[in-house]
Amino acid sequence: MPTRRRFLSAAGALGLAGALAAGRPRRLAAQGQSALPRRGVNLSHWLSWEGRQPVVAADAQMIRAAGFDHVRLPVDPEFLGWNPEAGGAPPRLDRLDGALDLLLTAGLGVILSFHAREETRDNIELHPRFQDTYLALWRLLARRYAARPDGLAYEVMNEPQYYVRGPQRWDQLQRRVIAAIRAEDAGRLLVLSGIGGSGIDYIERTAPVADANCCFVFHFYEPYLVSHFGATWEPFDKEPAAMVGKVIYPSPDMTLADAALRYGPGRAAAERLVRDYIDLPWNAATIGRRIAVAAQWGARAGMRLMCTEFGALRTRLDPASRYRWLADVRQVLERQGIGWSVWDYADLFGIATARGDVERLDDGAVVPRDAKAPDRAFDPAALAALGL
C-alpha cells in the first residue's frame, strides 16, 4: 500500500434518515465537543487506490451489527476526478455523496480521511499552489457536507510526512485547513495528525490546537516484522525481511530456529532482525509502553487521541499470532481510553473476506467480481480479537 511504503523510508452517531426526519440535522455549537468514536474499521480500497473493494448497504449493515460504531473512509480525491493542480470540484463527488449517505443511514459514524496518493501528498508539502488547491477542496467539502449529521468527522490528511521540512511547516498548514473548514462548519469533529506518517515517535513534536472539537491520531504497526510479514512491497520484499520464513507473536514464544531463515547474502542481517525481535521482547507489555508514549503526550497537551490505523497482514502470518497481536493492541488502546479504527475491512489486512464469485489478485487480495453485489463474511476469530 502506498502509505505503508512511504511510512517506512463517532460513538453515538445519528443516522442520516433520522436527522432528515427531524427537519434539520443536529449541530454542535462552535465551542462544543463531540464524543469520539470508539471502535471502527477502515474501508480501504473503495474510494481510494484501485477501488477494488466496493462497499454496499449490506456491508454497512453487517459492520454495524458486528458492534462497530464507525468507519474510517479513505478518500483519494483524484480517484473522484480532482485535479490537484487546477483545483475545482471533483466531477465524481456524487460517489462520495452516496457513500456517506449509505454509511450514515446504517447508523455508522464516518471519519472522512483525505488519502492523497504519495506524489500529490508530497506536492502539497512542497508547493504553495498545491496547498491552495488542497485548502480550496476542504472548503468545498465542508460547505457541501455542513448539513450532514454530527457522525461525520473530517481527517485533514492521512500520514503527513514532513521529515525534512519539519513539524512547524505542517502545523502551519494544518491550522490553515482548520480555519478553512471552520469558516463553513463551526462544530464538526476534526481529526488531526502529527508528522512522520502519524507515527508515535513524532507525536511529541506536535503542537496542540486550541479547538475543543478536535482530536489527534496516531497509527500503530509495531513491530513491522509481525504486522507486515509477507508484504510484497518495499522494504519487506527485500533482504533481510524477505529471508524470514516464519514469525510467531508474542516473541518469547519464538526461537531463531522457528524463523526458518533462507540462505543468502543477507542471512546474517536477517538473523539479527529476528534476534532483536525475540530479545526485546515483543509482547503486550512492550506494546503498552509504546502506546503510552502517545497517551502521555495527549495528557500533557490536553488533546484527545485516536488510533485510526492498526492491523496485521493476513497473507502469511499464522492466524494465532495475528489474532493475539490484534487483541493485545486493541486491549492496550482500550485500557488507555483511546478509540480505534482497525486496518482494514476486506483487503490485505482485512477482517472480512469476499465469498462466491471472487478473484484472487497477485498480491493475495480477494476481490468480488460483482461490484454492485459483493458477498462478504467476517472472520469470527478476528472479531473476537477485537472484543466484538
Q: In the chain, what are the domain boundaries? A: 2-222+283-385, 227-281
Cβ burial 225-253 (10 Å sphere, 16+ → b, else e): bbbbbbbeeeebeebbbbbbebbbbbbee
Residues near 226 by beta carbon (within 8 Å), at least 6 away in sequence: 247, 249, 282, 312, 317, 321, 325
Average pLDDT in the 122-147 region?
A: 96
The answer to whether the beta carbons of residues 332 and 322 sit under 8 Å apart is no
Pairing of strands 366-368, 352-355: unpaired
Residue 22 has pLDDT above 80, yes or no: no
Average pLDDT in the 338-350 region?
A: 97
Longest dimension (CA), the chain: 68
Predicted pLDDT at 29: 35
> Model confidence at 50, in pLDDT bands (50, 70, 90)?
confident
Residue 1 has pLDDT above 60, yes or no: no
The region of weakest confidence among 31-45, 207-221, 266-280, 343-357 is 31-45
Q: And the C-alpha cell for 366? A: 480477494
The region of weakest confidence among 2-6, 78-82, 204-208 is 2-6
Global pTM value: 0.90
> Model confidence at 204, in pLDDT bands (50, 70, 90)?
confident
Tens digits of residue pLDDT in 300-332: 999 999 999 999 999 999 999 999 999 999 999
Long-range interactions of 368-372: CB distance < 8 A, separation 24+: 368/53, 368/54, 371/54, 372/54, 372/56
Please state which CATH number belongs to domain 2-222+283-385.
3.20.20.80
Amino acid at 214: C
- The C-alpha angle with vertex 296 and arms to 290 and 300, in degrees rounded to 5, equals 155
Residue 67 has pLDDT above 90, yes or no: yes
Residue 17 has pLDDT above 50, yes or no: no
Question: What is the chain's mean pLDDT, rounded?
Answer: 90
Tens digits of residue pLDDT in 139-166: 999 999 999 999 999 999 999 998 888 8
Average pLDDT in the 7-13 region?
A: 30
Query: When comparing pLDDT for 13 and 225, which is higher?
Result: 225
